[in-house]
């Protein structure tokens, strides 16, 4: 049977009706109703898709957001504006706050400084400038200096990703030794030059006689990057060992 897909690419067959939403929520929230869901939609807490006929269709993400909204109202009496801010943050990849906490936060695993492969495979997040400051325990001035000196860069909507979170944490650590963002500009330049070393290899893999698949390109990128990082680390150690 042919699936029903909108012009925007929404596959309505993969979504559920408002009636099915009621069925799935009613066990935990006996008082849930269509009017309640419409009220939450009007207040920006959930945004279902619409069929050409105007019927609401909900994704599983919509369903979980509704559960979250209803729990926050029932268990913690949070106002809708606060819950809406949580939902917006969750849509950017942040985790909802724990009970009695005050704001969504990046997944704790993102603060780990493990391998490059792990970092690339993890879920992408989007942080505001203020959230970046808060969740790295940095000062606004320090983070602004990182921005000014090109150590971190926002996207088109002024959000910062996983890499920025780790960079700010590292720079804040180095700042405790007296190294300021202006001192670290040279590291940005060095990193760009290191990437330039193996960029031609990646271009060749993408357009050469034996064109590699996206998965192969990603694996090649990781191997090259990890190799450069390992060499960089060993060179720094070697220089330190031989200094008087």
Neighbours of 75 (CB within 10 A): 9
Percentage of the chain with pLDDT > 90?
A: 31
Entry field: residues in the chain: 244
CB 133 within 8 A of CB 139: yes
Residue 146 is predicted with a pLDDT of 94
Q: What is the spatial distance between Cα 175 and Cα 168, in angstroms, rounded to a whole number?
A: 10
- What is residue 115's three-state secondary structure? coil
Q: What is the spatial distance between Cα 28 and Cα 10, in angstroms, rounded to a whole number?
A: 29
Q: What is the spatial distance between Cα 209 and Cα 102, in angstroms, rounded to a whole number?
A: 55
pLDDT at residue 221 is higher than 50: yes
Average pLDDT over residues 133-157: 91
CB 152 within 8 A of CB 168: yes
Residue 100 is predicted with a pLDDT of 63
Residue 87's contacts (CB-CB under 8 Å, 6 or more residues apart) are 45, 46, 65, 68, 69
Q: What is the spatial distance between Cα 125 and Cα 114, in angstroms, rounded to a whole number?
A: 17
Of 110, 70, 117, residue with least CA distance to 92: 110
> Up-side HSE of residue 43: CA atoms within 13 Å toward CB?
17
Domains (range + CATH), the chain: 12-91 (1.10.1660.10), 110-242 (no CATH)
Which pTM value belongs to this model? 0.55
pLDDT at residue 125 is higher than 90: no
Question: What are 33's two structure tokens?
Answer: 């109703």
pLDDT at residue 48 is higher than 90: yes
pLDDT digits (tens, 9 = 90+) for 195-209: 888 888 888 888 877
Residue 103 is predicted with a pLDDT of 64
Neighbours of 28 (CB within 10 A): 11
DSSP 111: G
pLDDT digits (tens, 9 = 90+) for 62-104: 999 999 999 988 888 888 888 998 898 888 888 877 756 556 7
pLDDT at residue 166 is higher than 90: no
Q: What is the spatial distance between Cα 16 and Cα 56, in angstroms, rounded to a whole number?
A: 9
């Amino acid at each position: 049977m042919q699936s029903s897909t909108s012009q925007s690419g929404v596959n309505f067959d993969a979504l559920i009706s408002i009636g099915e939403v009621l069925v799935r929520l009613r066990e935990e929230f006996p008082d849930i109703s269509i009017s309640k869901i419409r009220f939450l939609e009007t207040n920006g807490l959930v945004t279902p898709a619409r069929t050409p006929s105007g019927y609401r269709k909900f994704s599983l993400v919509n369903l979980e957001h509704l559960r979250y909204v209803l729990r926050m109202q029932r268990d913690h009496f949070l106002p809708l504006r606060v819950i809406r801010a949580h939902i917006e943050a969750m849509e950017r990849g942040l985790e909802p706050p724990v009970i009695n906490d005050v704001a969504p936060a990046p997944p704790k695993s993102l603060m780990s400084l493990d391998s490059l492969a792990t970092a690339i495979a993890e879920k992408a997040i989007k942080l505001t400038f203020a959230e970046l400051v808060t969740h790295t325990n940095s000062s606004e001035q320090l983070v602004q200096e990182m921005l000014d000196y090109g150590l971190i860069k926002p996207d088109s909507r002024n959000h910062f990703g996983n890499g920025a979170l780790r960079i700010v944490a590292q720079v804040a650590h180095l700042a405790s030794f007296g190294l300021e963002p202006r001192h670290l500009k040279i590291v940005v330049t060095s990193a760009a030059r290191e990437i330039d070393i193996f960029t031609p290899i990646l271009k060749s893999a993408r357009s050469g006689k034996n064109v590699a698949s996206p998965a192969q390109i990603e694996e090649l990128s990781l191997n090259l990057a990890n190799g450069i990082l390992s060499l960089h680390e060993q060179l720094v150690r070697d220089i330190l060992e031989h200094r008087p």
